[in-house]
Structure 1
Amino acid sequence: MRSIITSLFIILLTLGRAAAQSDTLSITLENVPYPYAVIHLPLTIEGQDVRMAYMDVKPATPNGRTVMLFHGKNFGGYYWGDVIRPLVAKGYRVIVPDQIGFGRSSKPFIHYSLHKMAAMNKHLLDTLGISRALVLGHSMGGMLATRFALMYPQSVEKLLLEDPIGLEDYRTFVPYRSAEQDYPTELKTSFESVKKYYQSSYFTKWEPRYDQLVKIGAGVAQSADFPRYAKVAALTFEMIYEQPVCYEFGLLKVPTVLFIGKEDKTIVGKALLTDEQKAQHGQYKVLGPQTAKKIPQCRLIEFEGCGHIPHIEIPDVFMKALLANL
């Protein structure tokens, strides 16, 4: 009898540990479901062999056009599912890379650069035999998409920017912090800290379904490799701060559509600001129209009552607007 009780205790203990560990994520998100199969492109960067993850989703009845999706800093390809499916249904081939340092891609210690990222994505398109694409970038992906269009205008059929960051120069009002200084802050990542940030910046009203995004953002903090993840997060924060694109919007030579959630209040480095400074910056209802005037051939589409991620907060409304502007 005692042996049976002991065995049951061991089984329950094992199950309990497994349940606790289920919230721990690999820093390359292998245990996070992606909407489609993930492929890896081998690259060598600064002498390091790395792998760039991406999804290549092909329609049953192709229309001959391709859409490339660039994710934001706190996300990866996993959050594009509700955008990919309608696009594929309309005949578009959809390429969804996880940038190096993000998602299921490698997390090397390198000099992170929007120029370097743009070149890697151009290499991905070349490898796949794709000469031109509609490029949709969200948040940090919007900064990257802008840089990509500036570097490779011949490869961009249309530039689509969904609440891009970098509409203002953060260097002019956010105190400078190097990657080394930011690293200890990144190490403090928790479910509570991520949820607080998402609530204050990303969504107008919190819904339970957003908790899954928080779990992914915070789940890596329990990994033994989290210090590497945190260091890369600090390096990419430094990249965003030091490499603005807002002064180059007037140089864009491709048709552009700017999608803006009018309640978006995202600021990179927001925690370093006073409440008064927060009220003066990150106001997308003001930044959107200002930016649209800077960009030649730009169409501005604004969403009432929506924050930083329209494709998640108001997916049907966003997709209707996106499909109408392809």
Structure 2
Amino acid sequence: MKIKYIFTIFLMLMSSFSFAQESKLQWLDLTLSNYDYPYAVKYFPVNTQQKKFKMAYMDINPINNNGHSIVLLHGKNFNGAYWGTTINALKKEGYRVIVPDQIGFGKSSKPETFQYSFQELAGNTKSLLDFLGIKKTTILGHSMGGMLAARFALMYPETTEKLVLENPIGLEDWKLVVPYQKIDWWYNLEMKKTYEGIKAYQLENYYDGKWKEEYGEWVRLLAGWNLNSDYKKIAWNAALTYDMIFTQPVVYEFKNIKSPTLLIIGTRDRTALGKPLVSEDVRKTMGLYNKLGKATQKAIPNSTLVEIENIGHLPHIESFDKFIAPLKSFLAK
């Protein structure tokens, strides 16, 4: 009885903690106009698919410009804001840093309907760089941004001076083992998201159960949208991008990447799309970044692998010093 009583008290405390966290959530509008990014945000007009959209981006020019630039591409559950410390470090080294929010993400437009593809997003990013007068640059992508960065490098090798992939997803083809789900399935999944559910997912998949208060910022950014009466539009765009990720693997084309490439891999990462849809035996084979990093390095010509032991999906958040050191070294070559 005593054990049962203690467990009940524990559950009550956890419930109270969860309520306290959720009560801190800030209502966020569709384009995060009431959320400040680390640097000034500008907007680039994107005319595509017979519609007009706005693509948000940060363009940071250092005083001691070294003549080189780098583009930072965000992951699916993130936006340009989480690159703040990376921007600061690269700015000090003299790099011009461009950080776009892709259409459907962050401060950019949230379409009612949109045909998402990595080719589309890469083309929009190239148009932005053309507008900014950038002919050659390093492309760095994290998570979903890694898939986009690889696609960009394949489409625009003349623009991609160097390529950096930080724990990119898509290092394996999940549709070979995960049953296909229609977009409506992903939409319904998004509509059920809560602060506690988002945190639990990130805690398990990103941080191996080791939570720090600063990680909560990226949970609250997603959960704050849930308070918006137009959340259905955000959820629909999220569902469309899930389908893009699932059906458009780039892993088979790694051999065609021509740019010098750096892989920064947190080996504890176990991120993989569709784990709840497969058996436990199959699940154990998915998202093994301690193996996927090595396999990807062998697949991409002229590539270098830096493994960060005991770090998960977000090296630049969880272990910034171990992330930025090899990045700066690679860029300086």
TM-score tier by shorter-chain length is over 0.9
Q: Are residue 179 (structure 1) and residue 172 (structure 2) matched?
A: no
Shift of 1:22: 5.7
User: Is there any run of 5+ residues in structure 2 with no aligned partner, and where?
Assistant: 1-21
- Share of identical aligned residues, percent? 48
Equivalent position SS for 1:325: helix
1:119-130 maps to which residues of 2 (within 5 A)?
Answer: 119-130=123-134
Deviation at 1:272, TM superposition (A): 2.0
Q: Which of 265, 279, 287 is 2:284 aligned to?
A: 279
- The superposition leaves residues 51-81 of structure 1 with CA deviations (integer Å, 9 ceiling, x where unpaired) of 0000000001100000000000000000000
Give the TM-score of the pair, scaled to structure 2.
0.90
Counterpart in the other structure of 2:106: 103
Counterpart mapping for 1:229-240 below 5 A: 229-240=234-245
How far did residue 21 of structure 1 move?
8.8
SS of the residue 2:53 aligns to: strand
Q: Distance in 2 between matches of 1:186 and 1:166?
A: 20
Once residues 74 and 88 of structure 1 are traced to their aligned partners in structure 2, the CA distance between those partners, rounded to angstroms, is 25
CA pair 27-269 structure 1, distance change in 2 beyond 3 A? farther
* Residues 209-244 of structure 1: per-residue CA shift (max 9 Å, x gap): 111111111110110110000000000000000100
After TM superposition, the structure 1 stretch with the greater mean CA deviation from structure 2, 50-59 or 312-321, is 312-321
Q: CA deviation at 1:245?
A: 0.2
Deviation per CA, 1:20-40: give whole Å up to 9, x if none: 696211121122221000000
Separation in 2, partners of 1:236, 1:266: 16
Q: Which residue of 1 aligns with 2:117?
A: 113
| Counterpart residue number, 1:305 | 310
SS at 2:273's partner residue? coil
Shift of 1:313: 0.2
Q: Which residue of 1 aligns with 2:65?
A: 62
The match for 2:206 among 202, 208, 219 is 202
Please report how far the alpha carbon of residue 45 of structure 1 lies from its aligned counterpart in structure 2 after TM superposition.
Answer: 2.0
Q: Find the counterpart in structure 2 of residue 288 from structure 1.
A: 293
Q: Give, as a single letter, the amino acid of the residue that structure 2 aligns with 1:79.
A: Y
Root mean square deviation of aligned Cα: 1.3
Q: Name 1:93's counterpart in structure 2.
A: 96
Indicate the residue corresponding to 2:18 in structure 1.
none
TM-score, normalised to structure 1, is 0.92
Note closer, same or farther for the CA distance 1:23–1:286 as it changes in structure 2 (3 Å cut). same
1:247 is aligned to 2:247? no
How many pairs does the alignment contain?
308
Which residue does 2:38 correspond to in 1? 35
SS in 1 for 2:43: strand
Change (3 A) 1:260 1:20: closer
Is the counterpart of residue 189 in structure 1 residue 193 in structure 2? yes
Deviation at 1:276, TM superposition (A): 2.3
